[in-house]
Amino acid sequence: MKIASNIQSLTSNTGTRAWQRMLSGRRLDLLDPSPLDIEIEDIAHGLARVARWNGQTDGEHAFSVAEHSLLVERIATALEPKLDVRFRLASLIHDAPEYVIGDLISPFKAALSLDYRAFEAKLLAAIHLRFGLPAELPPEVAKLIKRADKIAAYYEAICLAGFSRAEARRFFGQPRGLSPTLVNRLSHLSPLPAAQGEAEFLKRFNELRR
């Protein structure tokens, strides 16, 4: 399976190596990713150009993974206001591997078996290490981020992807624990141009890294 259009496979005496050249000039080995080859500018650029919902959303622009990531960090912080800033950062970059492997919808991920998930987890672990986070998050933090992810998906589904509320509840559950102000904001999602999504993602990343 070709994971990205410009991934190149090299065969040597030690086996196959798959890498992608980034705009930063880094070459990221997807089979054995090194934290030293990961740059946040590459992540922001890629995520802002990867469409959620396979692009099947309303609006002039695609709703990007960068925008989704910003939503998840905002929701996670709302659910747990005392969340350590490191784990707020983890919630922001929870989908960071998609900057090189794309955003596969959940049913397709399941059809690809656990091998894809293991590949994704290995890349995320390298990204975590690059930015000073534990390779594996504490279970309660991982659970919180997953909850925030589902809440974001619920509102994206009904606001942008054509789902009814009943249909969204069936797939993602009924969101709970959010303030009316945040619910109102989530109920009026609007896809951003890629450059703006990239800039807002980078801005939030830098705020959390201070």
Distance CA 48, CA 198 (A): 5
Top-confidence residue, 163 or 12: 163
What are the residue ranges spanned by the domains of the chain?
40-209
Task: Answer yes or no: is pLDDT of 100 > 70.
Answer: yes
| pLDDT digit string, tens, across residues 128-151 | 999 999 999 999 999 999 999 999
Distance CA 205, CA 118 (A): 25
Q: HSE-up of 12 (CA within 13 Å, CB side)?
A: 4
Classify domain 40-209 at the CATH topology level: Hypothetical protein af1432 (1.10.3210)
Residue 108's pLDDT band (cuts 50, 70, 90): low
pTM over 0.85: yes
Task: Answer yes or no: is pLDDT of 1 > 60.
Answer: no
Task: Answer yes or no: is pLDDT of 98 > 60.
Answer: yes
Residue 31's pLDDT band (cuts 50, 70, 90): confident
Q: What is the pLDDT of residue 101?
A: 86
